[in-house]
Structure 1
Amino acid sequence: MTVPLPPLPPTVGDDDEHYRPGGSSMVDLLADEHEQIGTLCRELADPALPAEQRHRVGEVLIATVTRHLSAEEQYLYPSVRSALPDGEPVADREIAADAALLRALVDLSAASTGEPDFDRAVSEISEQVDRHSRVAATEIFPALRSIATEADLIRLGNRVQIAEEAAPTRPHPTTPATPPWNRIVEPAVGVVDKVRDAVTGRQTYVEDLPDGTRP
Structure 2
Amino acid sequence: MSAAPLPPLPPVPGVPDDELEPAGPSMIELLEEEHRRLGRLCLRAATEPAASDVLVATLARHISTEEQYLYPTVASVLPEGPQLAERELAADTELLVALRRLHDATDEAALATVTEHVRAHARRTGTELFPALRERCTGPELVRLGNRVEIARSAAPTRPHPATPSTPPLNKVVDPALGVVDKVRDALSRRTTWEEDL
The TM-score with structure 2 as length reference comes to 0.95
In the alignment, does 2:83 pair up with 1:89? yes
Residues 138-177 of structure 1: matches in 2 within 5 Å?
138-177=127-166
CA distance change for structure 1 residues 28 and 13 in 2, over 3 Å: closer, same or farther? Answer: farther
Gaps of 5+ in 1: 113-117, 210-215
Distance (Å, rounded) in 1 between the aligned partners of 2:63 and 2:140: 23
- 1:9-32 per-position Cα deviation (integer Å, ceiling 9, x unaligned): 235762644431001100011000
Q: CA deviation at 1:2?
A: 1.2
Distance (Å, rounded) in 2 between the aligned partners of 1:40 and 1:9: 39
In the alignment, does 2:130 pair up with 1:129? no
Distance (Å, rounded) in 1 between the aligned partners of 2:9 and 2:17: 13
Pairwise CA RMSD: 1.3
Conserved? CA contact 2:54–2:193, under 8 Å: yes
Distance (Å, rounded) in 1 between the aligned partners of 2:132 and 2:124: 11
Higher alpha-carbon Rg? 1
Q: CA deviation at 1:42?
A: 1.5
Distance (Å, rounded) in 1 between the aligned partners of 2:8 and 2:156: 20
Distance (Å, rounded) in 2 between the aligned partners of 1:14 and 1:184: 32
The TM-score with structure 1 as length reference comes to 0.88
- Who is 2:42 aligned against? 41
User: What amino acid is the match of 1:79?
Assistant: T
| Number of positions where the alignment pairs a residue of Structure 1 with one of Structure 2 | 197
Gaps of 5+ in 2: none
CA distance change for structure 1 residues 17 and 207 in 2, over 3 Å: closer, same or farther? Answer: same
Distance (Å, rounded) in 2 between the aligned partners of 1:4 and 1:186: 18
